[in-house]
Amino acid sequence: MTPSADHGLDVAAIKRDFPLLSRSCHDNPIVYLDSAATSQKPRVVLDSMTEYYETINANVHRGAYQIADLASRKMEAARANLADFIGAPDTREVVFTRNATESVNLVAFTWGRANLHDGDAIVLTELEHHANIVPWQMLAAERDIELRWIPVDAEGHLDLTDLERLLDGAKLLAFSAMSNVLGTLTPVRFLSDAAHAAGATVLVDASQYVPHLPTDVAALGCDFLVFTGHKMCGPTGVGVLWARAELLEAMPPFNGGGAMILKVTKEGFTTNEIPWKFEAGTPAIAEIIGLGAAVDYLRDIGMDAVRAHEVSLTAYALRTLTERHGDRITIHGPSEPASRGGVLSFEFGDIHPHDVSQVLDQKGVCVRAGHHCAKPLMAIMGVNATSRASLYLYNDESDVDQLSAALDDAADMFAI
């Protein structure tokens, strides 16, 4: 198969890089459309982890022997690789966590407790995933902190009419760069600048952004950026917190234990340098190395090409589903492909999303059904649940066609 002319991705070749995509589900070839939940993993990522365990498995930062040194270097090389991938000026600014959720909790627990006090305000948006809501609610429950919400409009864009008033006196603006429900891309630079002008610090949840768009923290202008490895072709169990070095230096530590200390006596301890100050205990060494391999894989393909492919495929999906299913399908979120990612939340007639996904599953089509960990947004949309198909670099027009055809089965079954 020749690469499509419009974006230059050879999707047929990319599909072959992902072992799982060659399997069947219920006797049909798998059509994997749930990458917003977790992506599949290319062979090079799986091999890098196996190679680590088979050739250099040793704990990091402690042994003087050869393989311990190799393991430490490999892990720190992955850190440098991640820093380069997101445009971080300093490798020490990349902290490894378990996932994006832990990254937000780390900031809430350390920076939040040191900097937010009774009477302060945090600004969130109605687009947020629970991971960027609940840690702040937990902090707000401990202290007299006000949570303010930037609303969403009917198309799923942020309504910035009252932004100045919402930011007035706020200490933190925490928001998603791309909605995991609607695919909405938010104006990260604009919001960062507005927050800074109001004296607020900025945290960006980039869990759905880093896997799909070229990322440059300097251009985004934020202070904290959180994302997870498993949505960007990496393994589960490793996430990233990026923050400007001076912020990390000033923050109290998170978990206490080995690796995060310089010195411990019976009287107390002194903390290690950043980033290790925030990495107590043995890290997910194999997974960090695997994430480094995922970054290599994505960089080789090119994030500009990934984004161009997804814009084109999203446009195709919006067009195909609407043309074939007409009024019986409602696709939420921005109508303009350039202002959104490839996350398509939809309602299909009055068929419950559980039932939609059950019928699609019989054809091997994997979509998510539920509230997508964004219940406040679902309440605003006036729904309890949606079906969600999400696209990635290994999806092509035939995947969209399979989804569209399988929806006919659901229509037949439920007579809509």
Partner 1 sequence: MPGLEDLYREIILDHYRNPRNRGELETPPAHRAEGFNPLCGDEVVVYVDVDDDGVIQDIRIGGQGCSISQSSASMMSAAVKGKTVEEARALTRAFKAMMSIHENELGGDPDEPVEIPEGVTLGDLEALRGVVKFPVRIKCATLSWNTLSSGLDAVSV
Segment contacting partner 1 (CB under 8 A): 266-274, 298-306, 318-326, 355-363? Answer: 355-363
Distance in Å, CB of 413 to partner 1, minimum: 6
Number of continuous H segments (helices) and E segments (strands) in the chain = 15, 17
Task: Report the first-to-last Cα separation within the chain, whole angstroms.
Answer: 37
| Residue 311 touches partner 1, criterion: CB under 8 A | no
> Given the complex with partner 1, which of 312 and 358 has the nearer CB atom?
358
| Residue 181 touches partner 1, criterion: CB under 8 A | no
Segment contacting partner 1 (CB under 8 A): 5-13, 199-207, 246-254, 363-371? Answer: 363-371
H or E stretch at 72: helix 66-85
> Given the complex with partner 1, which of 193 and 408 has the nearer CB atom?
408
Q: Quick one: tokens of 55?
A: 């050739």
> Given the complex with partner 1, which of 36 and 45 has the nearer CB atom?
36
The upper half-sphere exposure of residue 379, i.e. CA atoms within 13 Å in the direction of its Cβ, equals 8
For β-strands 329-331 and 343-348, DSSP reports them as antiparallel
Q: Are 256 and 280 in contact (CB under 8 A)?
A: yes
The interaxial angle of helices 397-413 and 303-325, nearest 10 deg, is 30
| Residue 384 touches partner 1, criterion: CB under 8 A | yes
- Which residues face 205 on adjacent strands? 176, 226
- Tell me whether residue 373 is one of the annotated catalytic residues: yes
How long is the chain? 416
Interatomic CA distance for residues 196 and 198, integer angstroms: 5
Q: Are 71 and 53 in contact (CB under 8 A)?
A: no
Segment contacting partner 1 (CB under 8 A): 55-63, 175-183, 209-217, 367-375? Answer: 367-375
| Residue 245 touches partner 1, criterion: CB under 8 A | no
Instruction: For tokens 């809509």, name the residue.
Output: 416
Near partner 1 by CB under 8 A: residue from 37, 68, 261, 413:
413
| Residue 364 touches partner 1, criterion: CB under 8 A | no
Of 348, 345, 333, nearest in space to 389 by CA? 345
Distance in Å, CB of 335 to partner 1, minimum: 25
> Given the complex with partner 1, which of 91 and 362 has the nearer CB atom?
362
Kindly provide the residue ranges of all beta strands, DSSP E only, lying in 21-165, ordered along the sequence. 24-25, 28-29, 31-32, 94-97, 121-125, 146-150
| Residue 139 touches partner 1, criterion: CB under 8 A | no
Segment contacting partner 1 (CB under 8 A): 173-181, 316-324, 335-343, 346-354? Answer: 346-354
Near partner 1 by CB under 8 A: residue from 23, 43, 73, 375:
375
Q: Show the binding pattern over residues 10-29: x = contacts partner 1 (CB under 8 A), - = does not.
A: ----------------xx--
> Given the complex with partner 1, which of 245 and 413 has the nearer CB atom?
413
Of 218, 368, 215, nearest in space to 306 by CA? 215
Provide the annotated active-site residues: 373
Task: Tell me which residues touch partner 1 (CB under 8 A).
Answer: 26-27, 352-355, 358-359, 362, 369-371, 375, 378, 384-385, 413-414
